[in-house]
Structure 1
């Protein structure tokens, strides 16, 4: 079981940002992710910085920890411009980049460019094409493709990714169409539990939700004759009524339940005081440094 963290892009770099990302590496986290949004929920009216510049700065400030988005979506991204940024960031980080990618939702990002928020079906349609085009852009030196939503005309991405054949995709999905994309294109699958929300699933039933999702992922892998064991299975915490950060013992018990249903990586939100991600920083650091030995 690997432990990772997601650091919200809310810190001025020279005041606190550099220290936070370096501390994540010191604590031994496998990956430090950040959200790729223009703004987000209760943080909308506070500081919020861009994901790609933040990760570029983090790459220069760290040496070993992997870095990633959790997640990037088509809401305000185009695969052509995103591919160029990712190839650059993979180079700057020395091949430490993971792209967490999802269909996006109905939050502020969905209408920030002036468009009407897409329906769930349209989001899924766009996501499928987005991932397909992005995969080509990151693996082929020259790409031309005319799609329903995204096109590329003689786009050159030389020299390509530092990681070969491309940087890994961690595909966030809870429904059948997204899970098929994860099976075909992902090096990892990401879930946050039941998409309905924390009030809809009793705590003792939460792992069962993820287990059923994993069953569907296995079916999707079988359809294309892929071994599901090739994919890492990532759980982003914070969207259920579970409280794994209350103590070290609580976290070890929590992580053990998810290990039993196939999760291989758990992502914890870096504590943010006076927010939905408030947590005892000392407990958080104990979990980062002591829990892995108890879960091995």
Structure 2
């Protein structure tokens, strides 16, 4: 394990998450178009069937159709999920949708993928008395899910008999526009997930340490994230992979700073620079949503998008 987090060899990028809670013609389309105009590197969306309060009992649209529509109104903006999980996905059908989406966007898709959690849509496909999977079950399923999805997106025909997921002569012609397949951004903090990121990922995603969200300090958060980067480095070292090959993505809004980095350009520059020094190559901010945890001044948000990276040098 390294004593110090590796310094990024890549320029820092700024991306955004646009939550799919608005109708396309009532603001959603405009946000995706504006994200490209502002120069964001990637526009992501959550891949859930529903999400937490205040969105739990309101409108919420599907990720793949949303990204398909976004591909049609943008030309340069990369698009992706942050994140997809096995909670309600199967590798065979997901692979077909991703190949189609990669084609429609002319190779602009990144698949953010994680093991999933216990809330919201974790039991949406279960019978009424079934409980959400345990952490071990989620990890077992995730490992099999990612490995099979990797094959489905790189091989023309795949047959596989798994414990949780199988494929019987699944055909995936013509494959992805991006070769050998579209990139995986693997969300993980535990040892098994970090091994998956090291083996299958082109990027790694973290939201920080969730245990510090309510009562931790920014300094404790930085130390925890530094430890995650060191563990990712160790996972890469174990398979003789250079950790610098992986982009390192921080999804903001879930560390003790919460929304404070979006209060001003200077505040964001300080926050982003500190995490860049830990080796991060991409910072992701939520598109402002009034009266929620993701509220922010739209003018300040747009100033951050257009000015912050230049100040970081």
Normalised by the length of structure 1, the TM-score is: 0.99
Cα distance in 1 between the residues matched to 2:134 and 2:216 = 25
List gaps (5 residues or longer) in structure 2: 1-11
List gaps (5 residues or longer) in structure 1: none
Alpha carbons 2:82, 2:112 under 8 Å: kept: yes
The 3-state SS of whatever aligns with 1:196 is helix
The 3-state SS of whatever aligns with 2:211 is coil
Counterpart pick for 1:10 among 21, 31, 43:
21
Alpha carbons 2:217, 2:256 under 8 Å: kept: yes
1:171 equivalent in structure 2: 186
2:161 is equivalent to residue 146 of structure 1 = yes
2:87 equivalent in structure 1: 75
2:63 is equivalent to residue 48 of structure 1 = no
2:63 is equivalent to residue 23 of structure 1 = no
2:45 is equivalent to residue 34 of structure 1 = yes
Deviations 1:20-52 (A, max 9, x none): 100000000000000000000011111100000
Alpha carbons 1:25, 1:65 under 8 Å: kept: yes
2:119 is equivalent to residue 102 of structure 1 = no
Cα distance in 2 between the residues matched to 1:148 and 1:187 = 26
Cα distance in 2 between the residues matched to 1:14 and 1:249 = 34
Please report how far the alpha carbon of residue 201 of structure 1 lies from its aligned counterpart in structure 2 after TM superposition: 2.1
Cα distance in 1 between the residues matched to 2:186 and 2:82 = 9
2:207 equivalent in structure 1: 192
Counterpart pick for 1:63 among 62, 70, 75:
75
Cα distance in 2 between the residues matched to 1:112 and 1:196 = 26
The 3-state SS of whatever aligns with 2:66 is helix
Cα distance in 1 between the residues matched to 2:241 and 2:215 = 33
2:8 equivalent in structure 1: none
Counterpart pick for 1:285 among 294, 302, 305:
302
Alpha carbons 1:190, 1:234 under 8 Å: kept: yes
The 3-state SS of whatever aligns with 1:249 is helix
2:265 equivalent in structure 1: 248
Deviations 1:117-136 (A, max 9, x none): 00000000000000000000
How large is the Cα RMSD of the aligned pairs?
0.8
Please report how far the alpha carbon of residue 204 of structure 1 lies from its aligned counterpart in structure 2 after TM superposition: 2.0
Cα distance in 1 between the residues matched to 2:61 and 2:189 = 28
Cα distance in 1 between the residues matched to 2:201 and 2:98 = 16
2:276 is equivalent to residue 259 of structure 1 = yes
Alpha carbons 1:194, 1:201 under 8 Å: kept: no
Which structure shows the bigger proportion of residues in helix conformation? 1
Please report how far the alpha carbon of residue 208 of structure 1 lies from its aligned counterpart in structure 2 after TM superposition: 1.5
